[in-house]
Chains A and B, each alone.
Chain A
Amino acid sequence: MAAAVVVKNLRKSYGSSIAVRDVSFEVQAGEIFGLLGPNGAGKTTTIRCLCTLTKPDGGELEVAGVSVLKDPRSARSKLGYIAQEVALDKVLTGRELLNLQAAIYHLPKAIANQRIEFLTSILGLTEYINKKTGGYSGGLQRRLDLAAGLLHQPEVLILDEPTVGLDIESRVVVWDFLRQLKSTGTTILLTSHYLEEVDALADRVGIIDAGKVIATGTPSELKDRLGGERITLRIREFTTSAEADSTKDLLMQLPFVQEAIINANQGNSLNLVVHASDDALSQVQAALKSAGLPVFGIAQSRPSLDDVYLAATGKTLMDAEMATAGSRNLKAEKKQSMKN
């Protein structure tokens, strides 16, 4: 299948701060591709460049076979863009917003009306469509924004954190809708910093960190590539670090244990990386028993996307979020981004 989106060696800096260092990935026609990364990884910057809102410093961009940099207008007609922050005109009703949207995409009136009816009903907006958007809840705003982005039936729908800030229920509505949309042949590129979201939705994932794509593949490929399995172990609800240390030493002697990490944030629980085998769990339990140690909780799991991220960057997504949360000046960035 042909690539519906091509991003090749994309670079973008704001002054001295590098937002996108070197991002490359392709989205195949008809798939859902998730760009996963912590706050500040460069997701929005990448998306803005693809959608012709930001001029990159270098690289190649293609949407539905059209070069974004050479023929931006034609690229615009092929893509639908749903921004990270919903921006509606609160004085307009939902329908008036969609009418405006139809006008700027040059849809004939009759076709626009049909599509508005359809999107409104399928997104559960019928009851609200003639009301001013100023009164919409966050979930309704998102859904109207989706309808607006889809009105011109784009070949590629690009969504920047489509469910950030939504309650679980609205999130599931959006997920379902995106899956249905995929079944019609629409290519979907979305960014997220929710592991579950990408795991649940995406056919393929690109993990982005500090302006670089560090891994791409299907979620299970990425996990398999990492190999091994994970055993999470708690001997007591709160284990002392001395006891955790000695337990770690004990378990490291088992031949199939590759690595053991003490997680101080979780009451000194132990995370073991083990060679995949049927009886790893029971052997760990046996070893603990013969050393006279109790077991408060033990579980075995396949690696998660977070483990993929951890292996690639040496930190978990959560840690990465925490680290950047304090260091960004969002207001200044917003100002800056309008200039570019």
Chain B
Amino acid sequence: MTSTSPKTIADWRPRADRLPQTSAFSDFMQETLGLTTRLFIQLKRRPSTLVAGIVQPLMWLLLFGALFQNIPKDLFGTDYGHFLGAGVIVFTAFVGALNAGLPVMFDREFGFLNRLLVAPLASRYSIVAASAIYIIALTLLQVVAIVGLSALLGAGLPGFSGAAIILLVVLLLVVGVTSLSLGLTFALPGHIELIAVIFVANLPLLFASTALAPLSFMPPWLQMIACLNPLSYAIEPIRYLYINPQWQWSSIILHAPWADVSFGAALLVLTGFALVSLVIIQPLLRRRLA
């Protein structure tokens, strides 16, 4: 079979086909695209995931935001609902990415993952990439809804550069957390254990960040933890640009116990987090055979 399509089994010639030589990069792109397509088809056929994913953060914003409605304004530097917006955006991205491993774990338990593992994937990072792309797309839809509702609640809209920063922050956070989640998926015995880890990681990381309250509200030990928590480095830039449309790379956005953190430095920390996550899961992805 060269260019004519096979008609009978006699035209089926193992290895007679000389397929065009492709580069490792285009192979990686192709497999990532194939895997991502599958995730979007699933989403399209199970739209409830999308609906729930959009409604949930909006409920957060409305209900949790209303909880502290009557708190004095100067406490948060702004209305609590506005203060919370950045936290909800980041937490939504974080939860989505943290759960990215679950469908892969079910694939693994069901045997579907073996399909991918016996294929000559250019790199198993295509599995990570597909999940990350999917979560980023999903998160962006959620972010649009959150930003929209915040605007309705009077927080205003971020400018063009603000939107770009939100996109960048979501991207870095999702890449980092998705790869950790997939690393766990390859390392843990089954979905029960994975769900347990997700469950345990979820709320403490939320509470020990600046999502719900500023650093100054916290006792020193919690400040310490919150400043080690990557979520804070995602939340603070978004919060800052919402409150200060005139933000600069050098603007100080977080007073960590050991140093003041600038806008640019926070993004660097996030970049470092994403890169380190990608690197440390490598042995886990190779676990069976590279």
Chain A residues proximal to chain B, CB less than 8 Å: 51-55, 69, 72-74, 76-77, 79, 81, 83, 85, 87-89, 91-92, 96, 99-108, 111, 114-115, 117-118, 122, 148, 153-155, 180-181, 183-186, 334-335, 338-340
Contacts and interface: CB of A to CB of B under 8 A. Distances in A.
B7 interface: yes
A52 B12 contact: no
Give the residue among B111, B289, B290 with the most A Cβ atoms within 10 A.
Answer: B289
Given A55-B288, A118-B7, A338-B109, 7 more contacts: A51-B118, A100-B38, A103-B33, A108-B20, A118-B6, A155-B14, A334-B109
Contact of A74 (B45, B111, B120, B121): B120
B111 A83 contact: yes
A115 B108 CA distance: 27
A148 B116 CA distance: 12
Contact of B115 (A52, A104, A122): A104
B108 A338 contact: yes
Given A88-B112, A118-B12, A181-B12, A79 B20 contact: no
10 contacts: A53-B118, A53-B289, A83-B111, A99-B37, A100-B38, A101-B115, A105-B120, A122-B8, A122-B9, A148-B115
Interface of B: 1, 5-15, 17, 19-20, 22, 26-27, 30-31, 33-35, 37-38, 41-42, 45-46, 108-112, 114-122, 189-190, 288-290
A183 B9 contact: yes
Nearest to A114: B5
B19 A107 contact: yes
A92 to B, nearest CB: 6
B38 A117 contact: no
Contacts of A117: 5
Contact of B19 (A92, A101, A108): A108
Give the residue among A115, A118, A338 with the most B Cβ atoms within 10 A.
Answer: A338
Contacts of A338: 108-109, 189-190
A309 to B, nearest CB: 29
B33 A335 contact: no
Give the residue among B20, B118, B189, B288 with the most A Cβ atoms within 10 A.
Answer: B118
A76 B120 contact: yes
Nearest to A110: B3
Per CB-CB distance, the 4 closest pairs between chain A and chain B, nearest first, are: A103-B34, A87-B111, A114-B5, A77-B120
A109 B10 CA distance: 22
Given A83-B111, A340-B288, A104 B12 contact: no
A85 B10 contact: no
Contacts of B108: 338
A104 B121 contact: yes
A140 B38 CA distance: 21
B109 A102 contact: no
Contact of A87 (B5, B42, B115): B115
A106 B31 contact: yes
Contact of A185 (B13, B22, B30, B42): B13
A76 B190 contact: no
A91 B43 CA distance: 10
A106 B30 contact: yes
A55 B112 contact: no
Given A83-B111, A91-B46, A104-B119, A111 B17 contact: yes
Contacts of B7: 118
A73 B22 CA distance: 15
A122 B290 CA distance: 34
A55 to B, nearest CB: 6
Contacts of A101: 115, 119
Contact of B14 (A54, A69, A108, A153): A153
Give the residue among B7, B12, B17, B34 with the most A Cβ atoms within 10 A.
Answer: B12
Contacts of A340: 288
A153 B17 contact: yes
Nearest to A121: B7
Contacts of B14: 153-155, 184-186
Nearest to B5: A114
Contacts of A89: 38, 42, 112
A160 B9 CA distance: 23
B247 to A, nearest CB: 41
B290 A103 contact: no
Contacts of B27: 106
A153 B35 contact: no
Contacts of B190: 335, 338
A274 B32 CA distance: 64
Nearest to A101: B115
A91 B288 contact: no
Contacts of A100: 34-35, 37-38
A204 to B, nearest CB: 19
Given A52-B117, A53-B114, A114-B5, A153 B189 contact: no
B38 A96 contact: yes
A79 B42 CA distance: 28
A51 B34 CA distance: 22
